[in-house]
Structure 1
Amino acid sequence: MEIEKITLKKSPPLEFIFHKGSFEIINEVDPENDGIYKYNALKSVEFDQEKTNWLLTILSYLVELFTGVGQGNTYKNQKRLTIGHAEKKVKLDLLDCEQKTINELISKLENIIKTNSQQGM
């Protein structure tokens, strides 16, 4: 298997480098998630889409309505990818990452999980 690289963000860098039996995460925003993770310890991949936080949004508009101060804002929870690994859960905020590249990464990780589960049978 040749080395494959998926770049979610160029600045600051957020990259996944896929090696023969492991993948590496390079995350300058949160270096705690940097590291090399073995494929056979990969358990799950969860993606949380960007969505409106209705509670904060409604409260914001109500405060504006009653006080006349400020302007109501729409608050959104950002996109997040959670990778379940035997060593730890890796949580990555995907601010300013393209959806197409996110989908490519998720597909790659899910294929690795599927391949590992079939080999474990």
Structure 2
Amino acid sequence: MTETIELRDKPELKFILNSDELDVINSSDPKNSGRFSYSEIESAKIYSERTSWFVSILSIIVDFFTGGGSGGIFKSKANLTLKTEKKSVKIWLRATEFEKAKKITALINTNKTNTQQRIIAIAHKARVEEKKI
């Protein structure tokens, strides 16, 4: 079963969910593109855009004393983070539909769980067969 979900057309951001792996095509940040096996993905989390209050307040205070005019509200951008055994991949969700990104995150986590359960079942079956011998 393969499902393709495109979050952005230009620059392209596409997720191809296969039964055992995930393909990410990220034209805006090619180093985050690649193929990830569900068995190596430890977590997939989505973060909405949020205000960094500490940095915002600090910049306003500094601006007040210096009169620089650069103080303001600072926000961290929405992203989808894939944590694997070897690295963490942060995919920025600029100009995307956040609800689709939530769906992708849920599908990745579901497929990850299904893959882990299949691996456990295969290992259990191998142990049972080994005991018979």
Instruction: Describe the shift of the 1:85–1:64 C-alpha distance in structure 2 as closer, same or farther (beyond 3 A).
Output: closer
1:50-79 Cα distance to aligned partner (Å, 9 max, x none): 211112211222233334442631100111
Equivalent pair of 2:19/2:111 in contact (CA under 8 Å)? no
Equivalent pair of 2:6/2:15 in contact (CA under 8 Å)? yes
Structural RMSD (CA): 1.9
How many residues end up aligned between the 2 structures?
Answer: 120
TM-score normalised per structure 2: 0.77
Q: Which residue of 2 aligns with 1:50?
A: 49
User: Over alpha carbons, which structure has the higher Rg?
Assistant: 2
- The SS at the match of 2:80 is strand
- Percent identity between matched residues is 31
Q: Which residue of 1 aligns with 2:113?
A: 114
In 2, Cα distance between equivalents of 1:52 and 1:63: 18
TM-aligned CA deviation for residue 91 of structure 1: 1.6
What are the ranges of 5 or more consecutive residues in structure 1 without an aligned counterpart? none
1:85 aligns with 2:84: yes
In 1, Cα distance between equivalents of 2:73 and 2:93: 19
What are the ranges of 5 or more consecutive residues in structure 2 without an aligned counterpart? 122-133
TM-aligned CA deviation for residue 97 of structure 1: 2.0
- The SS at the match of 1:11 is coil
Equivalent pair of 2:81/2:89 in contact (CA under 8 Å)? yes
TM-score normalised per structure 1: 0.84
4+ aligned runs moved over 4 Å, structure 1: none
